[in-house]
Structure 1
Amino acid sequence: MGLIGDGLDRAVQQADTRPIPKTAGAQMRYLVRQLDGTRAVAGLLGISQRTVERYVRGQFKHPRPDLAERLADAVRARWQPGVRARARKAAATQGIVIETRARFGFTAAPGTTDDGRMRRLTQALPPGYAGRLFSAREQGASERELERIAAEGLQEVYFKDGGRRAGDLRVEFTDIDYVEFGL
């Protein structure tokens, strides 16, 4: 997806209580159970159904690096859905920490500066913004929409200090170098 969407996914994955299966055969068997058949797994991974069957039976053990990465990503995306749902719910009620290095530009009253500059911020976002981020992510929002929600949260919490200063300020969140989230 994008930096923010992937960052939210990584934050939720940190809540996993067990690691994903280690071997290719165990990962294939897990996907076959989750997707109800080898044909669906083959379509997901872009390989033949016969190849999936060979991994399931243990005839193939070591996938090519690109297949190993796709396989691990597919398992990771479906791993422990209940644990991840509880983590998202907890973040929506307790808040989330965002750490980013990005260009922040401002639109403010005349006579003030609006030159953007790179800043590194680590800030706790309140539950409302965390809930909006996860809700938008689950509904398939675009990366631009996720950036807008994160910018709005940083604007209110960091730049406006909860309404104590810079009432007319509008923050633009662009040129993201990196973004990480913590639950």
Structure 2
Amino acid sequence: MGKIGDGLDQAAQHVLTRKPPRSTKARVRFLMSRNQNRTRTVAALLGVSQRTVERYLKGDRKNPPGPVDARIDAEVRRLWQPRVRRRAEQRAAAAGAVIVETRARFGFSSAAGSTDDPRMRRITQPLPPDRARELFDAHHAGAPERELERIVAAGLHQAYFQEGGTRADDLDAVELTDVDYCEFDIRG
């Protein structure tokens, strides 16, 4: 996943009502329940053998290696309480309370005489409600990182560069590249 997708997943962690399972056995059992109890699917997801998944389920192996433990943790967090996340995201998007903070290279096309060379900017700005909804929908549909960048750029184009249509009318399109970091705050 890219920096925008990871930022959306990280923001969703703050709206959860219960903590995810902590033991390896419980976390793998949860992943099994979300993947039709297929050890092959979970093994492929984690990059381990089916036998290793079975050992985790039996409790024979309690401490997976660091990279595997990180993958287990990331998958559990991604799949934990999806309805709670969706409701919080929908409320925040409707209220215009999705705040993006990013440091990235922004470039744009505009009228002659203005500089449109891309440059690094740090921007903290609420996204317009329609763009926030579009961003969440694309993320849940598994859109590639480039598509998420396009949606965030369009939202910042509206909210930051044009200030909701009060300035920079001749600014055509904003392009977001070289994302250094991207964090979201879901309030609402």
Q: Which runs of 5+ in 2 are unaligned?
A: none
Report the TM-score, using the length of structure 2 for normalisation.
0.89
Query: Does the C-alpha gap of structure 1 residues 60 and 142 become closer, same or farther in structure 2, counting only changes over 3 Å?
Result: closer
CA separation in 2, counterparts of 1:144 and 1:50?
Answer: 37
Aligned to 1:91: 92
Aligned to 2:50: 49
Letter in 2 for 1:117: R
CA separation in 2, counterparts of 1:47 and 1:175?
Answer: 32
Q: Secondary structure at the match of 2:62?
A: coil
Query: Does the C-alpha gap of structure 1 residues 44 and 116 become closer, same or farther in structure 2, counting only changes over 3 Å?
Result: closer
Q: Secondary structure at the match of 1:120?
A: strand
**Pairing 1:27–2:27 present:** yes
Q: Is the 8 A contact 2:31 2:76 kept in 1?
A: yes
CA separation in 1, counterparts of 2:175 and 2:90?
Answer: 28
Aligned to 2:177: 174
CA separation in 1, counterparts of 2:79 and 2:137?
Answer: 18
Equivalent residue runs for 1:110-129 within 5 Å: 110-129=112-131
Q: Which runs of 5+ in 1 are unaligned?
A: none
Q: Secondary structure at the match of 1:121?
A: strand
Kindly provide the CA deviation profile for residues 89-119 of structure 1, in whole angstroms up to 9, marking residues without a partner as x.
Answer: 2233123100011122221111112122211
Number of residue pairs aligned between Structure 1 and Structure 2: 183
CA separation in 2, counterparts of 1:32 and 1:105?
Answer: 44
Aligned to 1:7: 7
Aligned to 1:164: 166
Runs of 4+ residues over 4 Å off in structure 1? none
**Pairing 1:73–2:70 present:** no
Q: Please, which of 103, 110, 127 is the counterpart of residue 108 of structure 1? A: 110
CA shift, 1:48, in A, is 2.7
Query: Does the C-alpha gap of structure 1 residues 80 and 160 become closer, same or farther in structure 2, counting only changes over 3 Å?
Result: same
Identity of aligned residues (%): 55
CA shift, 1:4, in A, is 1.4
CA separation in 1, counterparts of 2:129 and 2:114?
Answer: 31
CA shift, 1:134, in A, is 0.9
Query: Does the C-alpha gap of structure 1 residues 13 and 114 become closer, same or farther in structure 2, counting only changes over 3 Å?
Result: same
Q: Is the 8 A contact 1:94 1:126 kept in 2?
A: no
CA separation in 2, counterparts of 1:6 and 1:97?
Answer: 15
CA separation in 1, counterparts of 2:123 and 2:154?
Answer: 14
